Amino acid sequence: MVKKISLLGATGSIGTQTVDVVREAPDQFKITALAAGKNIGKLREIIRETEPEIVSVDAPADATLLSGEFPKVEFVHGREGLIEVAARSDADVVVSAVVGSLGLEPTIEAIRNGRNIAIANKETLVAAGDIVTAEARRHGISLLPVDSEHSALFQSLNGEKAERAERLILTASGGSFRDKTRDELEGVTIEQALDHPNWSMGSKLTIDSATMMNKGLEVIEAHHLFGMPYDRIDVLIHRESIIHSMVEFADTSVMAQLGSPDMRVPIQYALTWPDRLPRKGTERLDLAKIGTLHFEEVDLNRYPALRIAFEAGRTGGTATTVMNAANETAVGLFMEGRIAFTEIEGLVERVLDRHAVISSPDLGTVLEADSLARKSVLDMVK
Ligand SMILES: NC(=O)C1=CN([C@@H]2O[C@H](COP(=O)(O)OP(=O)(O)OC[C@H]3O[C@@H](n4cnc5c(N)ncnc54)[C@H](OP(=O)(O)O)[C@@H]3O)[C@@H](O)[C@H]2O)C=CC1
Ligand SMILES: CC(=O)[C@@H](O)[C@H](O)COP(=O)(O)O
Ligand SMILES: [Mn+2]
């Protein structure tokens, strides 16, 4: 049976690679709903190719423009449009791949509508992991990891209960500045920060990888997806991004998932699970050619964002919501050239220090904490 897919974040790095996967297996998948932001040129191409029933864009003017060009497609817009595409779609799976905690409400609506979620949008789980996983349990849907590390953990668990695992080991490339000391980070440029050694990804995630906030977000994501306490989640620097992550069991066995760094592999697995399809166009792993794999401990003084994320995760409640929102805002300021790269973690930590944590927030409280944290960062750099 053809699987119907609703794709949120269609024009982004994960979105366009999801379209690649669908293109390669038209007898398996059909995209019926799309959501994007401002990249109307790319969206036009994707609409032409996939012929969806409904599409959401950010601006009302773009929705009107595209309605004229594609009369058979229904267009909606803005935050409500994004939620409508997620909630109304009759898709078998919703690929949640917008960037940022903007993905939270549509993902929750999709879960409440009984859709399985292929979750790339890690910020949703960091902002409100307890709420999202509780909704998933209540509605009996699957949260299928797309993030490469979490797909690796999921595959390494291979049906075993996460409780049986003793330790999750997330691998980290070290990001664009892994060969620089903390002092050498002074004055680094946006272009340098965007030059990831192994992966081609959206800009926000590439900056997060350089601060290692990405790994911090992923630790929190793993905690929620696999129910693992923080003191049993480790991070290991592995420059090559060939081992995507590992699970250690009580008998000392370690299961790992390896492969070429190509996000179409975990995207496809989330869409085909529990089956697998052949993958055209992904380079097969040739370990003899690679020769050597490297591993290193993480120095939390070099990467304070990872320490901040572990602390926020252990605190729980709105601490992770606030950390995520402050980080999104600080990364945005860096991308606008308004702050230095080395100011990102300090801003996040200052906002967290001033925040009075609410331990079991409802969705309204999460959204309010998120928006206040964004404002706090902006106030600090005025
Ligand atoms: N890229 C990767 O390899 C990986 C990504 N992820 C996660 O997946 C998510 C997406 O990442 P990535 O694809 O790299 O990001 P990109 O920046 O490449 O894409 C972001 C997507 O979100 C859309 N978007 C942004 N703002 C809005 C808005 N206001 N309304 C609707 N859509 C909006 C963008 O639309 P537009 O461009 O049209 O404005 C775009 O389609 C992130 O959470 C990231 O952490 C996880 C693992 C790997
Ligand atoms: C491809 C992917 O999953 C990214 O989240 C990736 O993990 C970034 O790599 P590092 O954060 O390890 O640099
Ligand atoms: Mn990842």
In CATH, what is the architecture of 3-145?
3-Layer(aba) Sandwich (3.40)
* Closest C-alpha to ligand 2, atom 1: 148
Average pLDDT over residues 109-126: 97
Write down how long the chain is. 382
pLDDT at 88: 75
Backbone angles phi, psi at 256, to 5 degrees: -130, 155
Q: How far apart are CA 40 and CA 32, in angstroms?
A: 18
Query: What ipTM was assigned to the predicted interfaces of this complex?
Result: 0.99
Q: Confidence class of residue 218 from pLDDT cuts 50, 70 and 90? A: very high
Ligand 1: which of 8, 14, 264 to mutate, judged by most atoms within 8 Å of the beta carbon? Answer: 14
pLDDT at 160: 81
Identify which of 293, 269, 295, 329 has the alpha carbon closest to the alpha carbon of residue 144.
Answer: 269
Find the farthest-apart pair of alpha carbons in the chain and give their distance in angstroms, rounded.
Answer: 62
From residue 43, alpha-carbon distances to 9, 47, 56 in Å are 10, 6, 10
Stated pTM of the model: 0.98
Q: How far apart are CA 172 and CA 248, in angstroms?
A: 17
pLDDT at 207: 98
In short, whether 127's Cβ falls inside 6 Å of ligand 1 is no
pLDDT at 226: 96
Question: How do residues 343-360 score in pLDDT, each as one tens digit?
Answer: 999 999 999 999 999 999
pLDDT at 152: 98
pLDDT at 164: 86
Average pLDDT over residues 289-313: 98
Distance from residue 56's CA to the centre of ligand 1 (Å): 14
Ligand 1: which of 39, 44, 201 to mutate, judged by most atoms within 8 Å of the beta carbon? Answer: 201
Evaluate if residue 167 carries a pLDDT over 90.
yes
Evaluate if residue 159 carries a pLDDT over 80.
no
pLDDT at 4: 96
* Closest C-alpha to ligand 2, atom 8: 209
Q: Are 49 and 30 in contact (CB under 8 A)?
A: no
Evaluate if residue 95 carries a pLDDT over 90.
yes
Evaluate if residue 92 carries a pLDDT over 90.
yes
What share of the chain has pLDDT > 90, as a percent?
A: 96
Evaluate if residue 129 carries a pLDDT over 80.
yes
Q: What are the residue ranges of CATH 3.40.50.720 in the chain?
A: 3-145
pLDDT at 379: 98
Question: How do residues 226-255 score in pLDDT, each as one tens digit?
Answer: 999 999 999 999 999 999 999 999 999 999
Full 3-state SS string of the chain: CCEEEEEECCCCHHHHHHHHHHHHCCCCEEEEEEECCCCHHHHHHHHHHHCCCEEEECCHHHHHHHHHHCCCCEEEEHHHHHHHHHHHCCCCEEEECCCCHHHHHHHHHHHHCCCEEEECCHHHHHHHHHHHHHHHHHHCCCEEECCHHHHHHHHHHCCCCHHHEEEEEEEECCCCCCCCCCHHHCCCCHHHHCCCCCCCCCHHHHHHHHHCHHHHHHHHHHHHHHCCCHHHEEEEECCCCCEEEEEEECCCCEEEEECCCCCHHHHHHHHHCCCCCCCCCCCCCCHHHHCCCCCEECCCCCCHHHHHHHHHHHHCCHHHHHHHHHHHHHHHHHHCCCCCHHHHHHHHHHHHHHCCCCCCCCHHHHHHHHHHHHHHHHHHCC
Average pLDDT over residues 65-92: 94
